Amino acid sequence: MKVICERAALLDAVNQVAAVVPQRSPSPALSCLKISASRQGNFGQVVIAGSDAETSLQLTITQVDIGEQGVAVVPAQKLQQILSSVDPADATVTLELDGEALRIKGSRSRFAIFTFPAADFPPMPDFATVAAGTAPQPARSMFVHSAGALKRLMERTEFASARETSRYAINGVLLKRDGKKLEMVATDGRRLAMCRGTLKSSDKDEAAVQVIVPKKAIGAYLKLVKDPNLAVQVAFTENRIFFALHDIAADDFKAGKNAPAPRAVLASVLVEGAFPPYEDVIPKDSDRKITISTDELAGAVRQASVLTNEESRGVRMSFGSKSRMLKLSSRAPEMGESEVECPLGDFVGDDIEISFNPQYIAEALKTLDEADVLVELKQSNRPGIFRIGNEFVYVVMPVNLPA
């Protein structure tokens, strides 16, 4: 193998794929990346692939000049370090397989990194056969969406999923597709985020599907999306989900035999288990509804949270219907206290005082780009709702603070 690559494009691809690779593994090949260089006529490409046996990513770069086709399997971390250390002024780097070593050359630097046998690298899931229905486990449902719209759903839910819990099902994010309706939901037992979207087109014969996507796959997808207008194909098999990103606008993409090859294919084993019946925890009888500027509220929460600690991880929020002001206060023993005011918009209902973990509020507001958010409340010991129309619903349990 011998290939000249655009340095920046190669480093970006290696960094993204390396993110799914475990740094330590009983199988040395799982800590590696597979670099495949191929050429068809005047067209050349390099595919970087990596996997942790559950999540895999294959990313294609075309800013290459293929001198000789071939495959090299190299340790991911070392390859990252080498490419990062090459002089940034170098527009290109050369990769050349020499026996059992991959030689990497910059304008003023030379490296040799020992490789592993290509046969030791785990097989990658084949999206083409899954989409065509010829794989051992073919796609049971597929849809095409804009990469940015799907990213938006993920960003507005993933932050609320559990980090570590014995309830394995809530370590991931629920993805539901039914016709043109798309919905994602995440919860950690103390809060719940739900975001809805709509597909532009849908095959009426496509089966409805409901799966739980691991957090690692969600994180990898978020890093892959650079242009929100491009197309992503999403396919579901019995135990995997595939995200195939294309360098073509979602509005122009047509699935089928003549569909272009994807730029990146992310595949992940699905989380097993039953997602909790989340509809039951969304309050339906809130009698206080308050409109607040998203930026104003985010700023006030950020200020009030400065004087909180692990023992008093809460901010008291007093909503005044007559003053149309929200007073946020916090107190930390042996540290001090804070009081911040925030103007309110429309207000339906009576005054109410309720306390929340400020981190939970801040994380949700960070995902919103709308000017205003609607807050719905019932009682100080009942969950609060932060809502953007029917698109975004965020339910948060209150916390108990000493008087």
pLDDT computed for residue 166 by the predictor: 64
Residue whose token pair is 């089966």:
207
* Residue-level pLDDT at 383: 97
Domains of the chain plus CATH, in order, are 2-120 (3.10.150.10), 139-278 (3.10.150.10), 282-396 (3.10.150.10)
Query: Shortest CA distance to 217 belongs to which of 184, 195, 189?
Result: 184
Q: Which residues of the chain have pLDDT under 70?
A: 165-167, 203-205, 257, 312, 403
* Alpha carbon distance 380, 385 (integer Å): 12
b vs e for 79-96, b when ≥16 Cβ sit within 10 Å of the residue's Cβ? bbebbeebeeebebbbbb
Q: Quick one: pLDDT at residue 331?
A: 87
Residue 117: Cβ-neighbour burial (10 angstroms; 0-12, 13-18, 19+): exposed
* Angle (nearest 5°) at CA 89 between 88 and 93: 75
pLDDT per residue over 267-312, tens digit each? 999 999 899 999 999 999 999 999 999 999 999 999 999 988 777 6
Sequence-distant contacts of 162-166: CB under 8 A, at least 24 apart = 162/187, 162/188, 162/189, 163/188, 165/189
Task: Please give the pLDDT value at position 205.
Answer: 67
How confident is the model at residue 200, as a pLDDT?
A: 84
316 close to 329: Cβ distance less than 8 angstroms: yes
Q: What is this structure's pTM?
A: 0.93
What is the strand order of the sheet 43-51 is part of?
70-75, 32-40, 43-51, 55-61, 264-269, 240-249, 230-236, 141-146
Q: Distance between CA atoms of 255 and 68, rounded to whole angstroms?
A: 32
pLDDT digits (tens, 9 = 90+) for 141-176: 999 999 999 999 999 999 999 887 666 778 899 999
Q: Are 173 and 216 a contacting pair, CB within 8 Å?
A: no
Q: How do 92-98 and 70-75 pair as beta strands?
A: unpaired
Give the separation between CA 182 and CA 199, rounded to whole angstroms.
7
DSSP code of residue 150: H
Backbone angles phi, psi at 150, to 5 degrees: -70, -40
User: Where would I find the H helices in 202-327?
Assistant: 215-224, 294-304
